[in-house]
Structure 1
């Protein structure tokens, strides 16, 4: 019975996504066109709007079946076997950069944008080395009890409910990550949600208070890959672009 309920929940989430997209056909078609080429002023698109080129599932050679490119969106569908799931990461590594993207989460959903990832078999998950900007339905997701776990926060490190203001489920949110010489700054929908410099006294304080305080590889790599997280919920990303700083 539990499996049947889970499958019904996933189907409902996918139906909500489809319904939200129905009124955005023209907008998505316009975005698809711009996503097929590199942007201006140093911006490079990490997602071409029609394929998963430039990405692979963490510690694998290709992108798993759960991630698909459709209607200008990079979508995750958890309704596949575990072997066909997993976080996807960029083929390339980045050190000083500005990253922009849009995300849309399902009801009760959870995901994340993780950066500074050192892809190595001794680390079996992206979050063991990478730092995360949280993607969340603040209202109904299970992981909404701590303020620094809400949408747009620097996960388990910095954030508050006052500045975490995601749009309603089914609407697109604009996320921005800047990392330069260890200084990390996050924005969600134009509002700055976190800023801290890795290695500073403030960083050491928040790190000590977090779950990551004793993790050997966490935030230890200045240069790394960027991931979109499989947290078991339907999620979509689009207009993913990066600029070297």
Structure 2
């Protein structure tokens, strides 16, 4: 291949790469197509705006940090000393997309239908898209048939994942809620679908740790929560489309 040909190929490669990156969009932004479809950012990639502490007040100054375009919970040696954070407002029917990266042995989660408890405080008990290192965290071996592993509806229904996610790599969780029908996705593939209130749901809740909680997971709307479970986990590209 002559020098002229090499130059043309190199230029094409650079232009194609640039076009691809432009089409995908930068982190923590919405493409024109996403905006037209009704997507909204739940996190701006720069501040802690739009979120609050489950304990009341703003997101803690320490523990949860904004670093390199990620919203990251620090490693606290599996001690939940900082606390979970939730969105400023509640959501009903929606499609939620969140990129996450977990470290070795990490445990976290993306919860939805979070509501206030009987005392008026925001509860941390609700439906949970489990974020877990299946290889190193002991919770992966507990529960029933893998219902505490990555992508599962925590302690109720397991996810069907053919290609395991790895610690230190970015993955995309997607949760679609349309009435009582809920679907979990991982990296674009459907891994779980269930219907709240169905017989299967009732049986799953009955054998879970939530069996004594009246009306568990049946709220019509709720906050979205990112969990602090004592190990470092990062989130970015947090966006939602209300249905």
The bucket for the TM-score relative to the shorter chain is: 0.7 to 0.9
User: Which residue matches 1:12?
Assistant: none
Partner of 2:29: 34
Aligned positions of 1:154-169 closer than 5 A: 154-160=153-159, 162-163=160-161, 165-169=163-167
Verify the 8 A CA contact 2:29 2:41 in the aligned structure 1.
no
Q: Number of aligned pairs? A: 214
Paired residue for 1:10?
none
1:76 to 32, 55, 73: 73
Larger of the two Rg values belongs to structure: 2
RMSD value, Cα: 2.5
Matched ranges for 1:60-71 at <5 A: 60-64=56-60, 65-71=62-68
Q: Deviations over 1:14-62 (max 9, x none)?
A: xxxxxxxxxxxxx8xx634626998331000001011110001103110
Could you list the structure 1 runs, at least 4 aligned residues long, displaced by more than 6 angstroms after superposition: none
**2:8 is matched with which residue?**
none
Alpha-carbon separation, structure 1, partners of 2:239 and 2:46: 14
CA distance in 2, matches of 1:58, 1:127: 8
Q: Secondary structure at the match of 1:193?
A: strand
> CA separation in 2, counterparts of 1:84 and 1:180?
34
Q: TM-score, structure 1 length as denominator?
A: 0.79
Alignment of 1:106-185 (within 5 A): 106-120=103-117, 122=119, 126-128=123-125, 130-146=126-142, 147-160=146-159, 162-163=160-161, 165-185=163-183
- Normalised by the length of structure 2, the TM-score is 0.80
Query: 1:35/1:236 Cα in 2 relative to 1: closer, same or farther (>3 Å)?
Result: farther
> Mean Cα displacement is larger for which, 146-155 or 118-127?
118-127
Partner of 2:49: 53
2:88 pairs with 88, 91, 107, which one? 91
Cα distance between partner residues in 2 of 1:190 and 1:83: 30
Match of 1:224 in 2: 222
Q: Shift in Å at residue 79 of structure 1?
A: 4.1
Shift of 1:68: 1.3
Classify 1:60/1:105 alpha carbon distance in 2 versus 1 (closer, same or farther; 3 Å). Answer: same
Show CA shifts across 1:156-205 (max 9, x none).
11115x52644221100110001111111101122222111111111111
Unaligned runs of 5+ in 1: 1-26
Instruction: Provide the C-alpha distance between the structure 2 equivalents of 1:168 and 1:83, rounded to a whole number of angstroms.
Output: 23
Task: Report how far residue 216 of structure 1 moved.
Answer: 2.9
